[in-house]
Structure 1
Amino acid sequence: MSALLPEAVRDRFHLPPRAVYLKSHSVGCQPRTAEGLLRERLLEPWRETGEAWPHWLDAIDAWRAALAGLIGVEPRDLCPATNVTAGLSRYISALGQATDRRTILLAPSAFPTIGYLAGGLAAAGWKTRYLPDDADVRDAANWTAALDDDVALVVAMHVSSNSGALTDIAAVASVAQAAGARCVADCAQSVGIVPVTPARWGVDAVLGTSVKWLCGGPGAAWLWVAPHDRTALDPMERGWWSHENPFEMDIHDFRYAPDARRWWGGTPDVAPFALSAAGIGEIAAIGVDAARSHNRALQAMLREALEPETPQWRWPAGEIGGTLCIDTGADQPRVAEALDRDRLRTDFRGTILRLSFHAYNSVADVERTVTALG
């Protein structure tokens, strides 16, 4: 039980009344500090000064610094983005000018937006290649087998949203780079509950979001580009905030910013990043390692209670992230009805039940889940 966090952690978040929230893989509960931080960093400067841009830009810089501290990178290499799709789109727009290779390699279990984006680039000469449907994304040998001299980019999910599989990103990055390709890690389903360490992994870029485990709300995604590509890649999608000096205002003279601002594009959003900073602050204070240990302890309790009683279900094997994905098969309608009846907030991908225990979940939440499903 030493791995469990104190109950007081729950008081730092707004939890749905009379319900058990087990969907941190989807949105994540609102930190109690979020509303005040939004007022302090967005609304009050706007109300008091009218022209609040210096304060708003300070808020974005504070967000970059907070996230950088959480994942162990330099703030200047982080680019705010509206969503993961936008961040990846800008990255590929730059990559296309840096290599003649034109194949993007990913797994069929990648989040669909990645496949939609890659497939939509066919008109620009890009091809999409998928690992076999039955390939274990955690085995770097499966990625090696799919690589050739036309693969420009490997996009690997750190944690799969369909299965919860936890991929060894460092191993995938190593085989990609040995084949002459770059590697991007999609950490949307891991950051905040599983350690995300871009510098140790040796990846070329990382994508993430502030919804889900970071409890930061929508609109505050991000792209991290490795220092070795800090000035080597020039995105085609650029705007005045990509400029070395956005306030120079010379339409005939564009110079890329020397850091991740080159990926920003136009006028940056502010509110999503002010909100996101609240979530990052709470997760940093709790500690990702502590949240991960707590998550694993609750997962183990649930499995110990239910797995022997449900031989007809398929429980995950191998390393997984924060989400427990259980294939309930023909029992899915009954399971869904029981969870809804007992106000347990979960979701399904087909017959696969997805349960996520975050820092604010408790032993009582596990017991209530076991009672409902038992």
Structure 2
Amino acid sequence: MPAASASPFALPDDIIYLNAAASGPRLHAVNAAAHDAVDQSARSWAFDIEAWFDHIEALRALAADTLGTEPAGLAFVPAASYGIAVAARNLPLGADRTAVLLAGEYPSNRNAWMVAAERDGGACIDAAPEAGETWTDAVLRSIDDRTAVVCVPPVYWTDGAPLDLHAIARAARDRGAALVVDASQSLGALPFDFDGIAPDFVASAGHKWLLGALGFGWLWAAPHWRAHGSPIEETWLAREYRESFGTASPEPLPPYRPGASRFDAGAFARPVDVAMATAAMQQLSDWTVPGIRDRLAALTGHLGERLSAHGMAALMPADHAAHMCTLRPPAERLDAVAAAVADAGIVFSRRGGGLRIAPHLNVDRAQLDRLVDVLRAAL
């Protein structure tokens, strides 16, 4: 483990990592937890299954407390796409019904609905802003009496443009439509108002703003679905098998365990992934999600100020979330600017015709000043 005064992030000194929207910067504590878990997993003769069950449920409770919900609402899933697939299983479109999505939405959020539309005789509607509109405007304009499901994120994945989920939730409810949220690009960096928005399902990857392991994510289910939802697989951990495990197969089939755990994916309890997620969630809990949001807003705000001070305000659209944005050089200079930024050891993603900038708390203002210097020279 690093000394107390050292950065909590395991990053080399010669890079500036601005790519948390692709994969969160790795914490030293998460690395250490992974190594410890690998060592412990080799001691199979010493495995205590009851202690392991307790560890899993402790993680569920820690995540709930950190994210502002209750443990009964959370299930373990391997990816956001798995969570969206659970939602699509429980929210069939029906003939001539529609799912409202964002135009150009990330495939993990749209593929399941496209398959459902083809299967059920429904259709997917791509909400796209017209001149002067926001993404929220486009979604609200697209919701009508045919809408069965609205599936949107809190922020657009390529540039961090925000959506008003409270307004969208009200419009969906008014039309009797369900609301599904892919929160992969915000959960852990921005607070999520589970009670106020009251969606049906919320899915999120765990390796981005939640700083955990690739292949270990989260699904939140509304109370109705915790009691009546259908999982997409039948794992022994999702049912009340613990007392009878190792004996003859019980008849009738045991009921599902309480809460969203009925949606837990098979083999979700991998020791390394659970250990990494626990270490990451403990750090997020210490920082608090509102605290992370405020610190990231200060960073992106500083970047905007420095760009403005050097006559480059037009590079950074004002309509972006606290934690991420996209810089848009002139199209004819995009390749050159992207190459210059990469050559300077600055890690970003090229998305939607621009440079997506997604800092976490590994970043300081001096590093953003360095980015601005590189942009000035490249333009």
State the TM bucket, normalised to the shorter chain: 0.7 to 0.9
1:175 equivalenced with 2:177 (yes/no): no
Q: Contact 2:67 / 2:289 at 8 angstroms: preserved in 1?
A: no
CA-to-partner distance for each residue in 1:32-53, whole Å, 9 max, x for gaps? 1113323555642651635453
Q: Is the contact between residue 189 and residue 212 of structure 1 (CA under 8 Å) also seen in structure 2?
A: yes
The alpha carbon displacement at 1:68 in A equals 0.3
Percent of residue pairs bearing the same amino acid type = 25
Residue 355 (structure 2) pairs with residue 353 (structure 1): yes
Displacement, 1:321?
3.8
For residue 261 of structure 1, what is the aligned residue in structure 2? 261
Q: Distance in 2 between matches of 1:337 and 1:290?
A: 33
Residue-pair matches, total: 365
The 8 Å contact of residues 230 and 260 in structure 1, kept in 2 or not, is answered as yes
Q: What residue is the counterpart of 1:339 in the other structure?
A: 341
* Superposed counterparts of 1:92-171, under 5 Å: 92-96=88-92, 102-125=97-120, 126-132=122-128, 134=130, 136=133, 138-139=135-136, 141-171=137-167
The 1:223–1:21 alpha-carbon spacing in structure 2 relative to 1, beyond 3 Å, is: same
Native 8 Å contact 1:107 1:137 kept in 2: no
Q: Name the SS of the counterpart of 2:227 in structure 1.
A: coil
| TM-score, normalised with respect to structure 1 | 0.88
Match of 1:5 in 2: none
Q: Which residue identity lines up with residue 100 of structure 2 in the other structure?
A: L
Partner of 1:233: 229
In the other structure, the counterpart of 1:297 is 298
Q: CA deviation at 1:131?
A: 0.9
Render the CA deviation track for 1:194-224: whole Å, top value 9, x for unaligned.
Answer: 1122123222221112111221121111110
User: Following the alignment from structure 1 to structure 2, what is the Cα–Cα distance between the partners of residues 162 and 9?
Assistant: 34
Change (3 A) 1:52 1:39: farther
Consecutive unaligned residues of structure 1, counting only runs of 5 or more, are 1-7
Match of 1:289, SS state, is: helix
**Closer, same or farther: CA 252–200 of 1 in aligned 2, 3 Å:** same
> Which moved further from structure 2: 217-226 or 29-38?
29-38
Q: Any conservation in 1 of the 2:78–2:265 contact (CA below 8 Å)?
A: no
CA 1:115–1:295 in 2, change beyond 3 Å: closer, same or farther? same
**TM-fit CA distance, 1:121:** 2.4
Q: 1:48 to 1:117 in 2, by over 3 A?
A: closer
Amino acid at match of 2:258: P
- Corresponding position of 2:375: 373
The equivalences for 1:277-288 within 5 A come to 277-288=278-289
Contact 1:244 1:258 in 2 (8 A): no
Equivalent residue for 1:203, pick from 199, 202, 221: 199
Q: Which sits farther off after the overlay, 180-189 or 266-275?
A: 266-275
Task: Please name the residue that 2:211 is paired with.
Answer: 215
Indicate the larger mover: 188-197 or 101-110.
101-110
Quickly say closer, same or farther: Cα 1:123–1:168, change in 2 above 3 A.
closer
For 2:199 and 2:365, how far apart are their aligned partners in 1?
37
1:18, distance to aligned residue in structure 2 (A): 0.9
C-alpha RMSD of the superposition: 2.6
Greater CA deviation, 34-43 or 67-76? Answer: 34-43
Alpha carbons 1:158, 1:169 under 8 Å: kept: yes
CA–CA separation in structure 2 for the residues paired with 1:361 and 1:9: 16
The aligned amino acid for 2:98 is T
2:257, 2:335 → 1: CA distance?
53
- Could you say what secondary structure the match of 1:184 adopts? strand
**Helix, strand or coil at the partner of 1:17:** coil
Q: Which residue of 2 aligns with 1:324?
A: 325
Structure 2's unaligned 5+ residue stretches are none
Q: Which moved more, 1:353-362 or 1:297-306?
A: 297-306
Decide whether aligned partners of structure 1 residues 162 and 302 sit closer, same or farther in structure 2, where only a CA change above 3 A counts.
same
Contact 2:130 2:138 in 1 (8 A): no
* Aligned residues of 2:306 and 2:369 also touching (Cα < 8 A): no
TM-score by length of 2: 0.87
Deviations 1:214-245 (A, max 9, x none): 21121111110112432132235433333233
In structure 2, relative to structure 1, the CA distance for the partners of 1:10 and 1:87 (3 Å cut) is: farther
Question: Which secondary structure does the structure 2 equivalent of 1:195 belong to?
Answer: coil
Tell me which moved more, 299-308 or 86-95: 299-308
Distance 2:250 2:145 in 1: 41
CA contact under 8 A between 1:72 and 1:199: conserved in structure 2? no
SS at match of 2:228: coil
Once residues 282 and 206 of structure 2 are traced to their aligned partners in structure 1, the CA distance between those partners, rounded to angstroms, is 12
